[in-house]
Amino acid sequence: MSRGWRTWLLPTLAIIVVLVIGGGAWLYISQDVSAQIGGIGGPFTLIDGSGQTVTDRTFRGRFMLVYFGYTFCPDVCPTTLTTVAAALDRLGPQADQVQPLFITVDPARDTPKVMHEYTAAFSPRILGLTGSEQQIGAVARGYRVYFASHAAAGTSDYTVDHSSILYLMGPDGRFVAPLRTDQSAGALAAEIRKDMTER
């Protein structure tokens, strides 16, 4: 009888371990699933060109055209912002209902001032946003944006690989559509107009 506890101790521990691991896995999977159901985007807190804090709620009532990149980007970002600026021109008065946001994935170099000067060179309509590493990490996760820094050989410089998708978000802040960046300004404007009208 004195050894009785040993006979059920191991099975009990085994059951506890299975429950903990299984519960953890379930929690992890269910969070991932709910994130997918919740969709792309979500709340964010960032800093604009004048150092003011802005959140996703700042832009409620207007569409957001969200793009992630960085000002040192050699090609994709400047090309995309040029296309966005031209597409906005083509939208005419409808462009007033769209707030383009350029969110940096390189907050170490892209200060509010740097972001403001950079976006202003493309269009005064485009709002450059930066933030702390944590704030940028959080918004990038919400939008499923991939980014990774790479040191350039022989210098202290680095480049940042990043996914290149435009996200059109509705006036309620919810994801509307992904837009390709490698299309003409006319095609982009037409797609945005169509998505806005169907909304």
Binding site for Ni ion (CB under 5 A): 69, 73, 76-77
* Residue number with CB closer to Ni ion (62 or 109): 109
Residue 140 CB, shortest distance to Ni ion, in Å, is 13
124: three-class secondary structure by DSSP:
coil
Q: What distance in Å separates the CA atoms of residue 78 and residue 123, rounded to the nearest whole number?
A: 12
Residues 6+ apart with CB under 8 A from 195: 168, 176, 177
* Residue number with CB closer to Ni ion (73 or 139): 73
- For residue 55, list its beta bridge partners: 45
Name the residue whose CB lies closest to Ni ion: 73
Residue 72 CB, shortest distance to Ni ion, in Å, is 9
* Residue number with CB closer to Ni ion (75 or 198): 75
* Residue number with CB closer to Ni ion (76 or 196): 76
Place of tokens 């991932």: 32
Residue 181 CB, shortest distance to Ni ion, in Å, is 9
* Residue number with CB closer to Ni ion (87 or 145): 145
* Residue number with CB closer to Ni ion (125 or 162): 162
Residue 69 CB, shortest distance to Ni ion, in Å, is 4
Using CA of residue 184, residue 140, residue 61, residue 197, what is the dihedral sign?
A: positive
Label residue 144 exposed, middle or buried (CB < 10 Å: 0-12, 13-18, 19+): middle
Using CA of residue 76, residue 77, residue 79, residue 84, what is the dihedral sign?
A: positive
Residue 174 CB, shortest distance to Ni ion, in Å, is 26
CA angle 119, 121, 124 (to 5 degrees): 65
Residue 76 CB, shortest distance to Ni ion, in Å, is 4
